[in-house]
Amino acid sequence: MNSAAEDMVSETVRVLTQPPMTSIAAASVYRDLMDALKSDLLPVVAVELGDEDSPQRVVLGTKDRRVELRVTVLAKGEVPYRQADAALVESHNRIFASQSVDGLWLNGLAMDIEEGPTRRARNGFAEDVASVTKTYVLTYRTAEHSLVRWQP
């Protein structure tokens, strides 16, 4: 049984790969980078969970939780931020297009998605490389003493 946070990041990867984005191949969307990628593989998108604050008991019997989701586009080229831009825009649009008719997000897993800070970094190697990381804060609900998806 997965935690709701794990389900949400898996769903994010699904949203970014099915159907494949036009700007980046589905095989180039990674869940958690455990090791440095060789620059030959760029551009890629990496999806990972971030930190999670203490939960709030808004409703008796449940807890509302907020976890960071980080989506990073890695690209290379003469102007690597420009090379990253198409995948950045398409990834962002895919995530915010995941809202269903009941107002929930990511296949009903998240109650809300807030856009957080965007971080940019670059480095000069034989080719210039850059990362653009967008942070989202996902709000979700679990039973009071559970980490799994809450189902009323």
Partner 1 sequence: MRFVENRRAFMADFTVTAIHGSTTGKVLFDEPTNVALDGMVSSDDPSITYFLADFPGLDAGEAISVDGTAYLLRQPEKLDDGVQARAGLRLP
Which residues of the chain form contacts with partner 1 (CB under 8 A)? 33, 36-39, 42, 46, 72, 74, 121-131
Query: What tokens appear for 102 in the block?
Result: 């009941």
User: Which residue's CB is nearer to partner 1, number 48 or number 112?
Assistant: 48
Taking the complex as a whole, the smallest distance from the CB of residue 17 to partner 1 amounts, in Å, to 19
User: Which residue's CB is nearer to partner 1, number 69 or number 110?
Assistant: 69
Q: In which order are the strands placed within the sheet that holds 62-76?
A: 29-31, 44-52, 62-76, 128-143, 112-124
CB 30 within 8 A of CB 117: no
User: Which residue's CB is nearer to partner 1, number 101 or number 126?
Assistant: 126
DSSP symbols for 1-19: ---HHHHHHHHHHHHHHTT
User: Which residue's CB is nearer to partner 1, number 4 or number 87?
Assistant: 87
Taking the complex as a whole, the smallest distance from the CB of residue 140 to partner 1 amounts, in Å, to 26
Taking the complex as a whole, the smallest distance from the CB of residue 49 to partner 1 amounts, in Å, to 15
CB 142 within 8 A of CB 56: no
